[in-house]
Amino acid sequence: MTETVGFIGLGIMGRGMARNLLKAGYDLRVWNRTASRMDPLAAEGARPTRDPADLAAQCDLILICVSDTPDVEAVIAGDDPRGVLHGVRPGALVIDMSTISPHATRAFGARLAEKGAYLLDAPVSGGSEGAAHGTLSIMVGGAAEQVERARPVLQALGKTITHVGGLGDGQMVKLVNQILVVGHALAMSEALLFAQAGGLDLRKTLDAVLPGAAGSWMLANRGPQILDRDWRPGFTIDLQQKDVRLVLGAADQLGVPMLATGLVFQLYRTLQAAGLGAEGNHALIKALERLAGIEIQAAVAGGPGQGG
């Protein structure tokens, strides 16, 4: 662990990831736009920094996990001398773990290369649970030698680390992941609503279908939350919608039809309009409940099922 590591972005995903780097023994520098979010990690041994440039000047490996493409732009470049580009050392490696535009990723890589630094795009999947437990799936794009350099740090954050191709390809694979995520969410929502209308015991229904061909991470982790009317986010509607927007933009450039993904985008838009953007992405079912005039009402464990 001879390389000094910095982490930028201590939100719903980043704080768990940064904490796992501390647990792994890294000498960690941190920065977050809302400075108070650095305090708990500072109490655990992390070193707060003034801004991304200050962090970059102290670190060999710089990890970024923020919300959207403009946020990464602000962190790396900024409109003033506080961005990573203004402090980064020659030979340093920036690892962007956000989910952003593949095109923008390649542009950021070119700007860092002008400073003699390297970039990997390494978006993640697994929700806040995976971030907290160090079990994320990480899809990495960039030069193979830099992926191997980053591997020890990434192993503190995830169980599955896959080098998928060149710079920007990590983001493309993450968009593939998000197409599948929202497709599973839509299928789960329709299936549970159907079961509710049919008078089934929803908990027994979940128990019956999860081990079979219909089982999925989404159904196993978010299905029980829906039955409990628990809308706490592993990943918010607002963030999921941002990713769906990236998918639809890339698909438009590629000329690929996105029928189910486009439908999910419109359904999430209705929930955002109702002020529900901070709820978990599994709250997608609320849009279908409103269309059907039915609300999921799972029986307590061991109790009778309730019809719609």
Q: Is 242 a catalytic residue?
A: no
Query: What are the distances in angstroms from CA 166 to CA 118, 119, 147, 173?
Result: 12, 11, 10, 11
Torsion sign, CA atoms 222, 227, 232, 236:
positive
- Could you give the angle at which helices 202-209 and 169-197 cross, rounded to 10 degrees? 130
Q: pLDDT tens for residues 113-131?
A: 999 999 999 999 998 999 9
The one catalytic residue in 23, 115, 159, 174 is 174
Question: 184, 218 in Cβ contact below 8 A?
Answer: yes
Question: Would you place residue 301 in the very low, low, confident or very high pLDDT band (cuts 50, 70, 90)?
Answer: very low
Q: pLDDT tens for residues 219-271?
A: 999 999 999 999 999 899 999 999 999 999 999 999 999 999 999 999 999 99
- At 108 the pLDDT is 97
Question: Would you place residue 1 in the very low, low, confident or very high pLDDT band (cuts 50, 70, 90)?
Answer: low
Mean pLDDT of 177-194: 98
Instruction: Please state, in angstroms and rounded to a whole number, the distance separating the CA atoms of residues 6 and 4.
Output: 7
Instruction: Please state, in angstroms and rounded to a whole number, the distance separating the CA atoms of residues 251 and 253.
Output: 5
Domains of the chain as residue ranges with CATH = 5-165 (3.40.50.720), 172-292 (1.10.1040.10)
Question: 125, 175 in Cβ contact below 8 A?
Answer: no
CA nearest to 171, candidates 234, 124, 110: 124
Q: Which residues pair with 132 in a beta bridge?
A: none
